[in-house]
């Protein structure tokens, strides 16, 4: 692993293995002043750290915990645009207002830097510009994926999909029966908003899964997934290929650049109509859940 040898660089930067640390290392190689502005901040749950409509005052990396990207609608209700998780960048453009707010969904720890240093370095450093482009492309890919899921999946599928997705980046414990216990470190309200559903729908879905012995709730936000492949099927997701970890890889720099190419072809989505996932009779009109 590449390490920064500059003695002025904090030890946590030299040894950090988080994905976002690559940008920190690039900054450290080019500006001792900026890297010295590093601050480690611990912030409690449900605190706003960046408000929609205001320019960001820092950039940084999520070390632990989760942040929600939130936007208020005209009717006063909120829409969650996704989560930032450990390794993700918190970034923006100086003097350009944010299009969403950032709030802590759990207790978090952040590494933050003065944003003026990054603004000054970016025009002079090709690698920093490429990393910023990669982050923008990753956010775009995540947003397109979220839009597809909200439009193509049913409420039950979206809730189950969130359980499956959570097992990719939240704490897990492999079990002797081949299953896995996942700890979903989020409130039910956040889970519901991220699934474009409701807290009541989550309760009904968990009861539905428990009756089919697919997921058992263990309390304290811990869930025992007994059969991941079956759960993926009920979530409307593609099966995991042999010799695959099942994790969705982060967008590589090459992939990030290719997203802008005109010949890029989007991946095929599963055929929603081919899956008999609803308990309602064929042709019935199912009313959407109220958030």
Residue whose entry in the numeric block shows the structure tokens 């559903």: 197
Q: Count Cβ atoms below 10 Å from residue 184 Cβ, excluding itself.
A: 17
**CB of 163 within 8 A of CB of 130?**
no
Residue 117: enclosing H or E segment and its boundaries? Answer: helix 115-121
pLDDT of residue 281: 41
Tell me the average pLDDT of the chain.
77
Q: For the chain, what percent of residues have pLDDT higher than 90?
A: 35
- What's the rounded mean pLDDT across residues 64-87? 89
pTM value surpassing 0.75: no
Q: At 209, is the secondary structure helix, strand, or coil?
A: helix
| pLDDT confidence band for 12 (50 / 70 / 90) | low
- pLDDT of residue 276 exceeding 70, the answer is no
Distance CA 149, CA 238 (A): 13
Q: Which of 30-34, 112-116, 128-132, 220-224 has the highest average model confidence (pLDDT)?
A: 220-224
pLDDT tens figures, 173-209:
999 989 999 999 999 999 999 999 999 999 999 999 9
Token readout for 97 is 């207002």
Distance CA 150, CA 153 (A): 6
pLDDT tens figures, 256-269:
344 444 444 444 44
Domains of the chain in start order, with CATH, are 11-150 (2.60.120.10), 153-240 (1.10.10.10)
pLDDT of residue 278: 42
Higher-pLDDT residue of 283 and 164 is: 164
């Amino acid at each position: 692993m590449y390490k920064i040898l500059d003695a002025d660089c904090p030890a946590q930067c030299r040894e950090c293995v988080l994905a976002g640390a690559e940008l920190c290392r690039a900054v450290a190689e080019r500006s001792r002043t900026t890297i010295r502005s590093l601050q480690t901040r611990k912030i409690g749950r449900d605190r706003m750290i960046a408000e929609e409509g205001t320019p960001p005052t820092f950039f940084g990396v999520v070390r632990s915990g989760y942040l929600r990207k939130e936007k208020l609608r005209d009717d006063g209700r909120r829409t969650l645009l996704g989560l930032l998780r450990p390794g993700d960048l918190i970034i923006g453009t100086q003097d350009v207002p944010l299009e969403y707010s950032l709030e802590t969904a759990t207790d978090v720890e952040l590494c933050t830097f003065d944003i003026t240093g990054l603004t000054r370095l970016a025009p002079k450093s090709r690698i920093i510009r490429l990393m910023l482009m990669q982050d923008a492309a990753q956010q775009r890919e995540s947003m397109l994926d979220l839009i597809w899921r909200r439009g193509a999946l049913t409420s039950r599928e979206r809730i189950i999909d969130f359980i499956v997705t959570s097992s990719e980046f939240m704490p897990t414990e492999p079990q002797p029966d081949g299953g896995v216990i996942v700890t979903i470190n989020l409130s039910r309200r956040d889970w519901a908003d991220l699934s474009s559903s409701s807290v009541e729908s989550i309760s009904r879905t968990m009861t539905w899964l428990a009756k089919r012995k697919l997921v058992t709730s263990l309390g304290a936000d811990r869930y025992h997934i007994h059969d991941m492949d079956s759960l993926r099927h009920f979530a409307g997701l593609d099966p995991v290929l042999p010799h695959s970890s099942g994790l969705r890889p982060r967008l590589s720099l090459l992939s990030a650049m290719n997203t802008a190419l005109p010949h890029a072809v989007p991946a095929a989505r599963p055929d929603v109509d081919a899956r008999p996932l609803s308990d309602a009779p064929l042709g019935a009109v199912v009313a959407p859940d109220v958030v």
